[in-house]
Amino acid sequence: MTLHEEMLAVGDGAVAASRELALLSERRKNAILEAMAAEVETRKNAILDANKKDIEAGRNAGLSTALLDRLLLTETRLVGVVKGIRMVGALRDPVGARISRWIRPNGLVIVKQRVPIGVIAILYESRPNVTADTSALCIKTSNAVILRGGKEALNSNAALAEALTAGGRKKGLPERAIQLIRCADHDVARELVQMEGRVDLVILRGGEALIRAVTDQARVPVIKHYKGVCHTYVDESAKIEMALAICENAKCQRPGVCNAMEKLLVHEKIAPAFLPPMAARFAERGVELRGDAAARAIAPGMKEATEQDWFEEYLDLILTVKIVPSIEAAIAHINRHGSRHSDAIVTESEAAERMFTRDVDSAAVYVNASTRFTDGGEFGMGAEIGISTDKLHARGPMALEELTTYKYVIHGNGQIRE
Amino acid sequence: MTLHEEMLAVGDGAVAASRELALLSERRKNAILEAMAAEVETRKNAILDANKKDIEAGRNAGLSTALLDRLLLTETRLVGVVKGIRMVGALRDPVGARISRWIRPNGLVIVKQRVPIGVIAILYESRPNVTADTSALCIKTSNAVILRGGKEALNSNAALAEALTAGGRKKGLPERAIQLIRCADHDVARELVQMEGRVDLVILRGGEALIRAVTDQARVPVIKHYKGVCHTYVDESAKIEMALAICENAKCQRPGVCNAMEKLLVHEKIAPAFLPPMAARFAERGVELRGDAAARAIAPGMKEATEQDWFEEYLDLILTVKIVPSIEAAIAHINRHGSRHSDAIVTESEAAERMFTRDVDSAAVYVNASTRFTDGGEFGMGAEIGISTDKLHARGPMALEELTTYKYVIHGNGQIRE
């Protein structure tokens, strides 16, 4: 079999599984999820052993400490994985829910109701917990899932997927409902995004290069978990203490994630009072600052920011700082340089807050809070499969509802159109 | 300027216009729509003259009578166009509506609210009324629109677009909010679907060939108004009189549209009683029947159906007929051969109706009604920009709500993440 034929067979298997999944009751799906969780517990040692192989190979291949940490599974982390699956089991199944219902003058009863999407493929890197989270969310919403993790995590992902499948099968998980692609060939990604009629949605969680390459070739709808170039704008009316705390948190609490602040915009009127203490706090936390000329004049010691800096997601203790003459300039800068992920204003002005929340074109727009809250768990969704930086179908954190679509079911008693 | 540069300029203009549109109040947008409608009335003669040129050129180019009819504008049809714009004005603006709102334990107030998509491009053929309908729907939802109609309708579309723009400008329609592409170059479509960052959504209403070609090249999200291979399944428990009336209506009332029935599936137990009178009715209406062996045995005089027939959208007085042994077989046939548009069951059995509406994977699934009702107007949406046969973002008739997306606006009082 060629890779193409193999992938078509994977797609056919997923389509068949999705039809079976659509027939399962919520109770049945919860029993499957519980069995999946239990089997991961049972196979704990085998999974940790597989992970050790990946870590060793990664170390030999010279992966960075950050990447190795993302790759690592420990007993504690595995407990978190199991807990995550059970948490999804406890969430309410959105499939079958009525979104709306109305009756037409001719007596037709129209119900708009949630249905599974069908077959979902996900391309992701490093963290093996995505394998379990994604599988649980897809099974709960009756979607078949095709998993394509990074090659550096293949042993861990394979051990996890085997446990999930073996556990689920005990309670009636359809064969091929969860399929992990083991083939390391680069063309797998291209095949997946071109499987119209077999794959209904591809979720992309990966590096910028992967996303660009795959998006260019896609014929299947794709939702991107793209970069997070998140801004905080400190308005002239901001409370300085609040602004200091929010900015420190947004930058430093976990700099390696997509909802961490990467850019700081400061109104010129508040900059002399705000920027020096802010720079001092960042210096304490080891943050490298890069500023425009105005910022460097107020808080010396910053490096010079280049044009490229405004577009870059560092995922590190680096921050670019700009002084702006107005809120309008801040908004224009964000819409031009940001990634439509999460952006915040710190302000005491209602007019400023209204303008900022209306005009900033991002998935999550904050007033007086840290951008770090853009997260399925923090939003109260219970879990997430990713954070969409696209505008269609789903925006921001994607959880169960975002893994469904809808159809119209129309009941009549013989209506015909005049 | 090369075509590429020209199209980028069109995109930049649309983005700028979309930002201005987002600031307009509903009242302002309604005034613009009224001025657009009034200007089409004022320029009635110029528009009809432009249309005459298209009709003449079309006749010389040998367009079919059906295509010429789609292309034709008359005084009456123009009254309909004007009425359509006013009707959109009277609909409720979904932009800014709260989809949901909740408060987190840490006090963050999360509001999920409807926002415009941004810039919408639409590729369509023939009917000039689409120019006005689409413009009205996009302006009402604060989206900038890029129109690319068929070259056979260019004079009509240009006259209409000029009227819409000139009228709207009197009441503050942003420059370049409505842009009609006049360049006939085939590459325009490719350019449009590759303008990431400038075009947020491309709606495809066109022939199968156009859709295939454009989808393959798309980097921007695309929603397809693809073909309608609609089925009616007559269950063994159907009332024969009701089934006869529904099938006749679904096939004959307007055979050239996407929600007309193209395939008839009949349960083998009811076929001997139902098919002969049905065939007689279709013969009276001039419908050509193509059947499988079992259907031809029951109602002689049908042509033989080929495998290709089951996938084909005739848009004509042709119907393919199949005898099925069970509802399961009917459902499997529809999911394999249909186009996920509209499919109906005629039945008196609650179990059959439950199974059919759950398992048929189409945008609209009917029980005891004609498939002809899949339409924004018939659904009570007031208008439509198309009927999505895709599963993501929007499914079935697309009207105002489907031209919006959402964002999360989060209010805090200094919350930081622990």
Q: What is the ipTM of this complex?
A: 0.94
Number of domains in chain B: 2
Chain A residues with CB-CB distance to B12 below 8 A: none
Chain A residues with CB-CB distance to B200 below 8 A: 391-392
Nearest to A414 among B104, B242, B374 (CB): B242
Q: Are residues B93 and B235 in the same domain?
A: no
Q: Are residues A273 and A131 in the same domain?
A: no
Q: Are residues B366 and B267 in the same domain?
A: yes
Nearest to A242 among B23, B201, B414 (CB): B414
Q: Are residues A106 and A217 in the same domain?
A: yes
Q: List beta partners, residue A266.
A: A234, A323
- Residue of B185, B176, B122 lying closest to B149 (CA atoms): B122
B121 touches chain A (CB under 8 A): no
B22 touches chain A (CB under 8 A): yes
A354 touches chain B (CB under 8 A): no
In the predicted structure, residue B208 carries a pLDDT above the cut 90: no
In the predicted structure, residue A186 carries a pLDDT above the cut 90: no
pLDDT range class, residue A29, cuts 50, 70, 90: very high
In the predicted structure, residue B121 carries a pLDDT above the cut 90: yes
- pLDDT at residue B162 in the model: 98
Chain A residues with CB-CB distance to B248 below 8 A: 416
Q: Are residues A202 and A335 in the same domain?
A: no
- pLDDT at residue A185 in the model: 86
Task: Please state, rounded to an integer, the average pLDDT across all residues of chain A.
Answer: 95
- Rounded to an integer, the average pLDDT of B392-396 is 96
A42-79 in b/e burial notation, b at 16+ Cβ within 10 A? Answer: ebbeebbebbeebbeebeeeebeeebbebbbbeeeebe
Contact B412 A358 (CB under 8 A): no
A269: in domain: yes
Q: How does pLDDT run across B236-281, given as a tens digit for each residue?
A: 999 999 999 999 999 999 998 899 999 999 999 999 999 999 999 9
A238: in domain: yes
Q: Are residues B32 and B89 in the same domain?
A: yes
Q: Are residues B149 and B178 in the same domain?
A: yes
Task: Please state, rounded to an integer, the average pLDDT across all residues of chain B.
Answer: 95
CA distance B380 to chain A (A): 7
- Under 8 Å CB-to-CB from A241, ≥6 apart: which residues? none
Chain B residues with CB-CB distance to A395 below 8 A: 405-408
Q: Are residues A171 and A290 in the same domain?
A: no
pLDDT range class, residue A382, cuts 50, 70, 90: confident
Contact A407 B380 (CB under 8 A): no
Q: Quick one: B354 exposed, middle or buried, by C-beta within 10 A (0-12, 13-18, 19+)?
A: exposed
pLDDT range class, residue A293, cuts 50, 70, 90: very high
In the predicted structure, residue A126 carries a pLDDT above the cut 90: no
pLDDT > 90: what percent of chain B? 90
Q: Are residues A333 and A208 in the same domain?
A: no
- Lowest average pLDDT, out of A379-393, B129-143, B283-297, goes to A379-393
pLDDT > 90: what percent of chain A? 90
Q: How does pLDDT run across A275-292, given as a tens digit for each residue?
A: 999 999 999 999 999 999
- Rounded to an integer, the average pLDDT of B110-139 is 95
B80: in domain: yes
pLDDT range class, residue B61, cuts 50, 70, 90: very high
Q: Are residues A68 and A167 in the same domain?
A: yes
A362 touches chain B (CB under 8 A): yes
Q: Are residues B48 and B140 in the same domain?
A: yes
Contact B288, B317 (CB under 8 A): yes
B140: in domain: yes
CA distance B120 to chain A (A): 12
pLDDT range class, residue A210, cuts 50, 70, 90: confident
- Rounded to an integer, the average pLDDT of B100-111 is 97
Nearest CA in chain A to B418: A253
A381: in domain: no
- Lowest average pLDDT, out of B73-77, B209-213, B265-269, B391-395, goes to B209-213
Range of the domain at A281: 230-373
B117 touches chain A (CB under 8 A): yes
- Rounded to an integer, the average pLDDT of B317-340 is 97
Interface test with A, best of B407, B411, B413, B418 (most A CBs within 10 A): B407
Contact A366 B412 (CB under 8 A): yes
Count CA atoms within 13 Å of residue B197 on its CB side.
Answer: 9
Chain B residues with CB-CB distance to A390 below 8 A: 221
CA distance A280 to A287: 10
Contact B383, B91 (CB under 8 A): yes
Residues 146-205 of B with CB under 8 A from A: 200-201
Contact A364 B391 (CB under 8 A): no
- Rounded to an integer, the average pLDDT of B88-101 is 96
- Residue of B303, B300, B337 lying closest to B320 (CA atoms): B303
Q: Are residues A35 and A176 in the same domain?
A: yes
Handedness of CA A38, A43, A45, A47 (dihedral sign): negative
- pLDDT at residue A155 in the model: 97
A248: in domain: yes
A206: in domain: yes
- pLDDT at residue A125 in the model: 85
- pLDDT at residue B326 in the model: 98
Higher-confidence position of A226 and B285: B285
- Rounded to an integer, the average pLDDT of B357-361 is 96
pTM of the model as a whole: 0.94
CA distance A253 to A228: 15
Distances in whole angstroms, Cα of residue A127 to Cα of each of A73, A227, B234: 9, 17, 51
CATH number at residue A186: 3.40.605.10
In the predicted structure, residue B209 carries a pLDDT above the cut 90: no
Chain B residues with CB-CB distance to A341 below 8 A: none
B384: in domain: no
CATH number at residue A274: 3.40.309.10
- pLDDT at residue B214 in the model: 85
pLDDT > 70: what percent of chain B? 100
- Rounded to an integer, the average pLDDT of A133-150 is 97
Nearest to A108 among B23, B245, B373 (CB): B373
pLDDT range class, residue A215, cuts 50, 70, 90: confident
B276 touches chain A (CB under 8 A): no
Q: How does pLDDT run across A89-125, given as a tens digit for each residue?
A: 999 999 999 999 999 999 999 999 999 999 999 999 8
- pLDDT at residue B217 in the model: 87
